[in-house]
Amino acid sequence: MSAKEVLILILALLILFTALSIVVLSLVWIERKFLGRLQRRLGPTRTGPFGLIQPIADALKLVLKEDLIPSWADKAIFWVAPLLVLIPSFMIWVTIPATSDLALKNMDLGLFVIVALLVVSILGLLLAGWGSANKYGALGGLRAAAQLVSYEVPLVMVVVSIAILSQSLDLRVIAASQVPLDTAQPVLKEVMAAGGTFNHVGVPFVLIFPLGFVLFLIAGLAEVGRTPFDIYFAESEIVGGPFVEYSGAHWSVFFLAEYINTFLIAALAALLFLGGWYGPLLPEWFWFLLKTYLMVLVIFWIRGTFPRLRIDQLMAFGWKVMLPLSFAGVVITAVYRFYEWPAWSLSLMSLAILGVVGYWLYRRFTQPVIELAKAYGRHPGRTASAR
Amino acid sequence: MTTVGGSEELQSDQHVDLMLNMGPQHPSTHGVFRMLLRVDGEVVLDAEPHIGYLHRGSEKLSEGEQYNQVITLFDRLDYISNFNNEWVYCRAVERLMGLEIPERAEYIRVILGELNRIASHLLFLGTFGLDAGAMTPVMFSFRGRERIQALFEAVSGARMMHNYFHIGGLKEDVPDNFPQLMTKLLSEIWVDVEECDKLLSFNEVFVARTKGVGAIDLETAIDYGWTGPCLRACGLEYDVRRAEPYSLYDRFDFDVPVGKDGDCWDRYFVRVLEMYQSLVIIEQALKDMPPGPVMALGRRLIRPPKGDVYVRAENPRGEIGVYLVSDGTDKPYRVKVRPPSFCSLSALRHLVKGAYIADAVVILGSLDIVLGEVDR
């Protein structure tokens, strides 16, 4: 590798980091504004037009704040932990293609690398909790370890299903195999020339494999610790968990990592299930960003709607519902591929599984409470809409 | 099984429980409550509540104030439902003096008291959502509460510490546009309450977090002295407004919502249903409100005859009791308050044993304590 190549690489990494920082700033603004609208507030309005400068003000405040390190903390671990969370989440982005030819380093095993790197952040969270020598921190770190390990498995299983569907772990191929053949031609030709394999399906995987999409979204939310799975830093219980002793710039590193990860899950959902950067008329990067930001909005919407699960419920849901379902997903995709059934058969199977499980959950948990509410004397006739 | 604070040397195979200090500076201890949890992993083995961080000696202070001045101290007991507190104290003094207060004043007291109940329950709904991890309900419920407080400000001049109910009636009559204000407010509050209800009550995750959590049976609840929504959630239809109707409550047609299981969700839902009932009461009271004077006494200096009296009322948090002893001077000889929150809180240890840490927060939230009243 010549000096020039190294220089270019460093420059590219810097550009990537800047881009991700801008993305995080935009996410902060969108989250505050969007949640505000969900809650019938305005969100930030005072800093710049529509409060656009607000994330910058937030970031400035964070960086200028005094960075406290508790005297009883394990200093080395305390320092390293935020980086251990940030670096993997940043490294993942090296392999994510934003358009058919825009990726820092496209890999044949891109999806594998992503899944492998996603696990590393557990270590950082655990160390952060442990190193800050705080009981809440330790509890949070252990929660994070349990949660992230549990939901890693369903996530991997969904990824395996996707690999079965597209016969590739290359994100470009996965995206290309979801669109009509003439649109996907350039990428697929390139892959064929390089001797790669693929299976062209022609429709976004969300249509033929909705089960996987739902599982991926749930497991992804758990992986990045967003509501309803924000259990390891649960503000109202363990007051920030691993981050409880962090402040200022150190805390903002965690914050950055969390938002990069959120964006990652949204981007992966777009790439794996929504046909990636492909779309009519408009440029590829636009479609990629549009789909990703739409997924981000869904994540924020969920945050505005749901309370937080309890740790035992989270584990039970992970191991008793998510894991069997994700295995079922692998089995039905494998069967579909092996017997070469038509695409609608897979979507039918997915929807049937989703429907059955959803109905079972409703009957088991929600319906009894609705019945109970009726018994307690809820008077629908007296409510405002009926008046 | 030993418990260590953190500094002792441990053997590698020794099982240790963790002492977790929750509060007084913790986001979900509702003020300055503190509990020491002994936890084994995520499971709470024991909880030791510590109260008294907000002790201001209100009862003792009352002995040094004139009768009308004590009202301000009662405002600050349960600072979420000020009107109800003023009301029960005023009723105690009025009973001691054998005073009949004008009908219009009674109606206004009922309306404001019930509005305050809604405001209090809305605050509960929002903070309970926060305890469970939902951030939206608090925004929705505070909107409704804000509207109610705006009306309180229009009526009494203050959003919270009103000092509006005086002994013998009210400080002054309500503003002329009170009926219009109320009509507008009622139509908005119906919607607000219903929105909050729809947002949270049957949310799957919320139900999973609260249903079956912190359940208590009726006998134990009675033994702990529970009253109000917490007791009614256990299945007993006991409401002071119904059991011993005071003021005008025998004139209104309303239900007393009752739960069955006595868990967090029932305690929550009983409060939601109560908000609807309060609206029903307000509508009836507003319809019948007569014109006339609002003050029975012409003088400010009050000297009740010697004697003592115990008066109770249904506050948003349960039955509040005021025991008042007069020695014939212009200051009470002794004021004793029986706060509902204190009794609810006393069962906390019983409830959180064996629960998860996350449950402990939800259970504490479901009791809806106000530390100003617990510590006095």
Confidence check: pLDDT of B2 > 50: no
Which DSSP string corresponds to A249-302? HHHHHHHHHHHHHHHHHHHHHHHHHS-TT--SSS-HHHHHHHHHHHHHHHHHHH
A230/B133 touch (CB, cutoff 8 Å), yes or no = yes
pLDDT at B13 (0 to 100): 65
pLDDT at A378 (0 to 100): 61
Q: What is d(CA A176, CA A3) in angstroms, rounded to the nearest whole number?
A: 35
Mean of all residue pLDDT scores within chain B: 87
B332 domain residue, yes or no: yes
How many other C-beta atoms can be found within 10 angstroms of the C-beta atom of residue B185? 19
B13's tokens: 């195979």
Do B100 and B275 meet the contact criterion of CB atoms below 8 Å apart? no
Do A62 and A252 meet the contact criterion of CB atoms below 8 Å apart? yes
pLDDT at B124 (0 to 100): 92
Element (H, E) at B336: strand B332-338
Q: Residue A385: which pLDDT band, with cuts at 50, 70 and 90?
A: very low
- CATH number assigned to the domain comprising residue B149: 1.10.645.10
Confidence check: pLDDT of B308 > 60: yes
A305/B134 touch (CB, cutoff 8 Å), yes or no = yes
| Helix extents (H) in B136-243 | 136-156, 178-200, 204-210, 218-223, 228-232, 240-243
B97's tokens: 């003096």
pLDDT at A102 (0 to 100): 74
Residue matched to tokens 């952040």: A121
Confidence check: pLDDT of B317 > 70: yes
* Chain A nearest C-alpha distance from B294 (Å): 32
Confidence check: pLDDT of A198 > 80: no
Q: B24: cis peptide before it, omega within 30°?
A: yes
Backbone angles phi, psi at B121, to 5 degrees: -70, -30
Q: What is d(CA A351, CA A348) in angstroms, rounded to the nearest whole number?
A: 5
pLDDT at A74 (0 to 100): 84
Number of domains present in the structure of chain B: 1
Chain B residue with Cα closest to A133: B6
Q: Residue B292: which pLDDT band, with cuts at 50, 70 and 90?
A: confident
Q: Looking at A88-92, A157-161, A374-378, B252-256, which range is the least confident one?
A: A374-378
Which comes out higher in pLDDT, residue B2 or A300?
Answer: A300
Closest CB to A307 among B41, B205, B257: B205
Question: What number is the average pLDDT over the span B72-98?
Answer: 89
Amino acid at A332: I
pLDDT at A266 (0 to 100): 92
Question: b/e string for A147-157 if b means 16 or more Cβ within 10 A?
Answer: bbebbbbbbbb
Question: What number is the average pLDDT over the span B270-290?
Answer: 88
Closest CB to A377 among B136, B255, B261: B255
Confidence check: pLDDT of A386 > 50: no
* Closest C-alpha to B125, from B113, B110, B140: B140
Confidence check: pLDDT of A379 > 60: no
Q: Give the CA diameter of chain B.
A: 79
Q: What is d(CA B252, CA B241) in angstroms, rounded to the nearest whole number?
A: 10
Q: How many residue contacts between A and B have a Cβ separation below 8 Å?
A: 130
Q: What angle do CA A307, A313, A315 make, to 5 degrees?
A: 120
B358/A373 touch (CB, cutoff 8 Å), yes or no = no
Closest CB to B129 among A136, A307, A377: A307
Question: What number is the average pLDDT over the span A84-90?
Answer: 88
Domain ranges in chain A are 1-64, 68-376
Closest CB to A227 among B130, B133, B143: B133
A234 neighbourhood in chain B, CB within 8 Å: 133, 358
Q: Residue A70: which pLDDT band, with cuts at 50, 70 and 90?
A: confident
Residue B213's domain spans which residues? 58-347
Confidence check: pLDDT of B6 > 70: no
A143 neighbourhood in chain B, CB within 8 Å: 42
B20/A239 touch (CB, cutoff 8 Å), yes or no = no
Question: What number is the average pLDDT over the span A331-354?
Answer: 87
B140 neighbourhood in chain A, CB within 8 Å: 39-40
* Chain A nearest C-alpha distance from B138 (Å): 9
pLDDT at B11 (0 to 100): 60
Pairing of strands B165-166, B169-170: antiparallel
A243's tokens: 């981050």
Torsion of CA A4, A5, A6, A11, to 10 degrees: 90
Question: What number is the average pLDDT over the span B50-76?
Answer: 88
Q: What is d(CA A231, CA A218) in angstroms, rounded to the nearest whole number?
A: 14
Question: What number is the average pLDDT over the span B241-250?
Answer: 86
**Could you give the 3-state DSSP secondary structure of residue B332?**
strand
B190/A387 touch (CB, cutoff 8 Å), yes or no = yes
Tell me chain A's radius of gyration from C-alpha atoms: 22
A380's tokens: 């629908």
Q: How far apart are the first and last CA of chain B?
A: 38
Angle, nearest 10°, between helix axes A284-305 and A248-273?
110
A28's tokens: 């902060």
Confidence check: pLDDT of B4 > 60: no
A312 neighbourhood in chain B, CB within 8 Å: 42, 356
Backbone angles phi, psi at A17, to 5 degrees: -65, -40
Question: b/e string for B63-100 if b means 16 or more Cβ within 10 A?
Answer: eebebbebbebbbbbbbbbbbbbbbbbbbbbbbbbebe
Q: Residue B12: which pLDDT band, with cuts at 50, 70 and 90?
A: low
Closest CB to B269 among A312, A313, A376: A376
Confidence check: pLDDT of A190 > 80: no
pLDDT at A383 (0 to 100): 45
Q: What is d(CA A178, CA A168) in angstroms, rounded to the nearest whole number?
A: 12
Angle, nearest 10°, between helix axes B136-156 and B103-132?
160
* Closest C-alpha to B127, from B46, B32, B217, B29: B29
B273/A365 touch (CB, cutoff 8 Å), yes or no = no
pLDDT in tens, B149-198: 999 999 988 888 888 888 888 888 888 888 889 989 988 888 888 888 88
Confidence check: pLDDT of A317 > 60: yes
* Chain A nearest C-alpha distance from B344 (Å): 21
Question: What number is the average pLDDT over the span A132-147?
Answer: 88
A384 neighbourhood in chain B, CB within 8 Å: 187, 190-191, 194
Do B174 and B108 meet the contact criterion of CB atoms below 8 Å apart? yes
Q: What is d(CA A217, CA A206) in angstroms, rounded to the nearest whole number?
A: 11
Residue matched to tokens 């394999």: A197
pLDDT in tens, B329-363: 888 999 999 989 998 888 888 898 888 988 888 99
Which comes out higher in pLDDT, residue A359 or A102?
Answer: A359
Confidence check: pLDDT of A322 > 60: yes
pLDDT at B52 (0 to 100): 86
A111's tokens: 């999806």
Confidence check: pLDDT of A155 > 60: yes
Confidence check: pLDDT of A159 > 70: yes
* Chain B nearest C-alpha distance from A88 (Å): 28
Q: What is d(CA A309, CA B133) in angstroms, rounded to the nearest whole number?
A: 8
Q: Residue B10: which pLDDT band, with cuts at 50, 70 and 90?
A: low
pLDDT in tens, A228-279: 888 888 878 888 888 888 888 888 888 888 899 999 999 999 988 888 888 7
Closest CB to B131 among A236, A309, A361: A236
Q: Residue B311: which pLDDT band, with cuts at 50, 70 and 90?
A: very high
Question: What number is the average pLDDT over the span B33-44?
Answer: 87
Q: What is d(CA B207, CA B354) in angstroms, rounded to the nearest whole number?
A: 20
B259 neighbourhood in chain A, CB within 8 Å: 376
Give all strands of the β-sheet with B307-315 in edge-to-edge order.
Answer: B307-315, B318-326, B332-338
